[in-house]
Structure 1
């Protein structure tokens, strides 16, 4: 095996300034495998970096390759690797925790303070992302895909893991009623995870009618609610808007039966009024899963949550979910909608990545099709 090879990579140098460059990739270390990245989904955090050269208060401080929702094929293995072989297809779990701290030892490695996550500028030097021809990655964090799971579905394991982690933290039981606020990719996958968990009914809400209709038509949800395009300004008007929307949630019907207050709400927007709605829509003793990262500081009707003992539960990425997500995809569970349908646009090759990001920023493409998940194919 040569000591290093030349690989091409898509590198971000500034806002919307992506360049294809050649970099040297060494042979994999003893515990690593070398993976030819073949399918990568574009994520909202990638889009923020692409559009603004920052993600919230995290600034990019050096040229960085984006991408972290990826699957590929093992091309070489390190001397100590026995779990994988050349030719294996794998989903990449790209967050590398310290594995030594108390949180890691508890299995909560997703919130490890020493986490180094590909395509995130939080750590410096930045951990380069997966929008490149090859990457070296620890074999421990490469999950083998069975023959029945394609590389495209392998790329969906990462966002599905967010949904699965949220479902696990919700302690979702069969027969539960579920509200999903936000019908983007993560919201749809939270709805899918709820379906697999035996939810009695799933209501999904979004300002885009086409998105919630897509969810119902494709089996992700049982009922759709279009959120009015309103921008209340005062806290009184915001709360009144949220209460009205919650009443619409409670009045939603599935198979002729009103849903009422829900067991679990997955809040996937980060919008303040949606958090208000979640509190008013969730039944006493229920849980609100805080997934959306939109508005960092919010004013909430916290007494309404306290009086009902509604739990507000944070969700950040995932831990220990890849194997169960891969098993779920391979199981062909009849309750699982076809999650591959959320891949709505595909672009081939590194040169097309700027176009892919520009598309990911849109609600619909030039043909009027929904934009939910854009995938880069480098096979």
Structure 2
């Protein structure tokens, strides 16, 4: 069933038509290009950036969504979804490593492959990156029944990895990028601020890299309980009195590496103050453009502050960690919804306690 023989067809798409207002619309999908595959989308995870678009119309300080009828008819506006997996239903003429029926995880960002950053191996920073479900470059997302994607950015899932786990490889790669850039290794003591999906996955990646202890803070008791379940050694309420002293008492000293995963400016300062001289603070979450920062503390202690923007060359490693059992993503799944229930899925996620909410546009066995 070659993709280039398929006619255009209509499909259901969940479209954000206004703040906190998702509705199903019909949009057409073309046959895949010669280097693409067409997928039956099975699982889509709701990301923090999706939630920001849903609740505020903007994410990460980038482009504000245009909810006018003209904007909605442009084909992109409001079509979110980048944490996704699916089943190959047709292949382009030049695709040889995938076939109909293969279950795959999508790496949502497709770089230009030709600029200096791409050629140096840091394609996540490509200025021409086409990242699906992003208002920045107006590329439609995968919160729909079917989706075309470049085949070289689709990774075949082994039988041991579920489609739900396949969709969760994307946020796992963010955490893996953070732990890799911070150079977490055997015996290190790690602090993670924020026990949302990225914070918990960062804890998992740190443990997989050999960290001796992981300490996590959060404001939500249920998330701290989940942190204990996935292997965190110490958990603390983020608003407790004298948090810094309590953090240091966990391991008897400051931390080798700290990861800011909640997007709260005060939490970043806590990370800086909780990190030992010569250590590393890695900023993973999106923060306001301008924040008060204890830079002098970082300078005086030679604490390196590094950033993370998505990930690069990490999908095979993330998949290996999950398929080998070194990282178990299943405990992070809070609830699953159908595409028709997309609005309810976002409302459920907005309650604050769920870790990972997944929308299933098509059943795994559905290939039409």
Task: Work out whether the TM-score is over 0.5.
Answer: yes
| Cα 1:53–1:301 shift into 2, 3 Å | closer
* Superposition map of 1:216-235 within 5 A: 216=228, 218-228=229-239
| Residue of structure 1 aligned with 2:136, choices 122, 125, 128 | 122
The corresponding residue for 1:376 is 359
Q: How many matched pairs?
A: 348
Shift of 1:341: 1.1
Secondary structure of 2:17 counterpart: strand
Secondary structure of 2:168 counterpart: helix
Establish whether residue 77 from structure 1 lines up as the match of residue 91 from structure 2.
yes
Establish whether residue 112 from structure 1 lines up as the match of residue 126 from structure 2.
yes
Shift of 1:280: 1.1
Shift of 1:54: 2.1
Q: Distance in 1 between matches of 2:245 and 2:113?
A: 46
The corresponding residue for 2:39 is 35
Q: Any stretches of 5+ residues in structure 1 without a counterpart?
A: 230-240, 253-257, 364-369
Deviation per CA, 1:29-76: give whole Å up to 9, x if none.
110000010001001111111122222342113333111100000000
Give the conservation status (yes or no) of the 8 Å contact 2:261–2:285: yes
Secondary structure of 1:90 counterpart: strand
Deviation per CA, 1:118-139: give whole Å up to 9, x if none.
111012xx10000110011110
Does 62-71 or 152-161 show the bigger shift?
62-71
Q: Distance in 2 between matches of 1:8 and 1:300?
A: 46
Secondary structure of 1:58 counterpart: coil
* Superposition map of 1:196-275 within 5 A: 196-216=208-228, 218-228=229-239, 244-252=242-250, 258-275=251-268
The corresponding residue for 1:339 is 329
Does 7-16 or 161-170 show the bigger shift?
7-16
Secondary structure of 1:83 counterpart: coil
Does 176-185 or 285-294 show the bigger shift?
285-294
Runs of 4+ aligned structure 1 residues displaced above 4 Å come to: none
Q: Distance in 2 between matches of 1:87 and 1:273?
A: 48
Deviation per CA, 1:226-252: give whole Å up to 9, x if none.
1227xxxxxxxxxxx8xx322211101
The corresponding residue for 1:161 is 173
Give the conservation status (yes or no) of the 8 Å contact 1:201–1:259: no
| Cα 1:136–1:279 shift into 2, 3 Å | same
Give the conservation status (yes or no) of the 8 Å contact 1:188–1:220: no
Deviation per CA, 1:259-294: give whole Å up to 9, x if none.
411111011122121111111111111110101113
Give the conservation status (yes or no) of the 8 Å contact 2:80–2:140: yes
Q: Distance in 2 between matches of 1:131 and 1:245?
A: 40
Establish whether residue 356 from structure 1 lines up as the match of residue 345 from structure 2.
yes
The corresponding residue for 1:237 is none
The corresponding residue for 1:318 is 311
Give the conservation status (yes or no) of the 8 Å contact 2:62–2:135: no
| Residue of structure 1 aligned with 2:271, choices 268, 271, 278 | 278
Does 92-101 or 292-301 show the bigger shift?
292-301
Shift of 1:372: 1.0
Q: Distance in 2 between matches of 1:205 and 1:57?
A: 28
The corresponding residue for 1:234 is none
Q: Any stretches of 5+ residues in structure 2 without a counterpart?
A: 364-368
Q: Distance in 2 between matches of 1:181 and 1:52?
A: 24
Q: Distance in 1 between matches of 2:26 and 2:221?
A: 43
TM-score, reference length from structure 1: 0.89
Question: Considering only aligned residues, what root-mean-square deviation do their CA atoms show, in Å?
Answer: 1.3
Q: Distance in 2 between matches of 1:88 and 1:75?
A: 8
Q: Distance in 1 between matches of 2:176 and 2:245?
A: 28
Shift of 1:192: 0.5
Give the conservation status (yes or no) of the 8 Å contact 1:263–1:287: yes
Shift of 1:332: 1.5
Deviation per CA, 1:349-374: give whole Å up to 9, x if none.
x21001001111112xxxxxx31111
Shift of 1:28: 0.9
Secondary structure of 1:193 counterpart: helix
| Cα 1:154–1:275 shift into 2, 3 Å | same
